[in-house]
Amino acid sequence: MTDVVVVGAGVVGAACAYYAARAGLSVTVLDRGPVAAGTTGAGEGNILVSDKEPGPELELALLSARLWRELAGLGGFEYEAKGGLVVAETSEVLGSLADLAVAQAGAGVEHVPVAAGELPGYEPDLTPDLAGGVYYPQDSQVQPMLAAARLLSGAPGAVLRTGVEVTGLLRDGDRVTGVRTNEGDIPAGAVVNAAGTWSGEVAALAGLDLPILPRRGFILVTEPLGGRLGPPLIRHKVYTAAYVTDVASDSEGLETSAVIEGTPSGTVLIGASRERVGFDRTTSIPVLEALARQAVALFPGLAARRVIRAYCGFRPYCPDHLPVIGADPRAPGLYHACGHEGAGIGLAPATGHLVAGLLAGAAPTLDLSPFRPERFAA
């Protein structure tokens, strides 16, 4: 019998496996698809503190940012401590950005106010039609698929089984004692639900309601512009203040805001869109056009560059915009690590570290009550 079964081989499940295995637990990771085939594989790799208001998610993000810096020693997943630049089109928006940065500073977030005339020092190709911005040196980026794979390969003794679908949970009374799969039963001391956008379905196997919904987003990818082929066109993660508002929005309708960053290979990733349309993967040309227009408005030089592909993914959306982390008292033996929406890559190490601590019987280093699974029951 394995100590822990982790359901989901995305970056959050990989982080849970990594830290649980390092705590001395035997771990089996299951996924019905390949590693990082879900939300992780459709992400940009953002590790952000800049887009979060003071509160429990920011505390989680700060812990995760520190852990990502430690994990960078593993190598192999393109960790870039590039920093983030949030820009404002008007002086009014810039004032709101400055207020947020001051509030974040009280929680330990580093920031540098950037006047309009100082922006070219950060991003020479940025449009001059901006009022200013705020630079966040703690923001960083990884290649998410590589990160998930590297965490799994670095988990001592962990067993990875792909193409295995969890069809039920083993029970001893109320206690969860393993999983049923299309390839047979797997007894376990504990089960971790890290199934991303599909975590609600895993919770339902235990008779639990976990209101995690898909929130679709598209990303454009340009031809290589720099990186290994030359100097980068875009040095930092750059986004407009509207992105912060969109992240916190409860709207089901389409919202787009410019989020632009380069990669080590020289391509540029352009986002971000949000809409709740179920699991509809239909390519929306109007959304792609909106993303392209917003990118060119920030970096006019992109107008002469080609887009080589576009893809979409589904963020695991929770109604209160907080992830679900910890033991579920309604089904002892079941733990959740899900519902991170668009912040899962950034928050993965902290989530895995905290869940592994619970599995090993250690006291959590962060207050997990805001993330408790049963908070939606009422």
Burial status of residue 367 (CB atoms within 10 A of its CB: 0-12, 13-18, 19 or more) = exposed
Domains, the chain, ordered by start: 2-45+145-212+320-376 (3.50.50.60), 81-138+213-317 (3.30.9.10)
pLDDT given for residue 259 in this prediction:
93
Q: Which two three-digit tokens encode residue 229?
A: 């082929």
Q: Are 114 and 122 in contact (CB under 8 A)?
A: yes
136-183: pLDDT as tens digits: 999 999 999 999 999 999 999 999 999 999 999 999 999 999 999 999
How far is residue 146's CA from residue 150's CA, in Å, rounded to a whole number? 6
- Collapsed DSSP state (helix, strand, coil) of residue 102: helix
344-362: pLDDT as tens digits: 999 999 999 999 999 999 9
105-117: pLDDT as tens digits: 999 999 999 999 9
Q: Are 88 and 131 in contact (CB under 8 A)?
A: yes
pLDDT given for residue 233 in this prediction:
77
| Predicted structure pTM score | 0.95
pLDDT given for residue 256 in this prediction:
84
Query: In the chain, which residues have pLDDT < 70?
Result: 226-232, 245-250, 378
pLDDT given for residue 200 in this prediction:
97
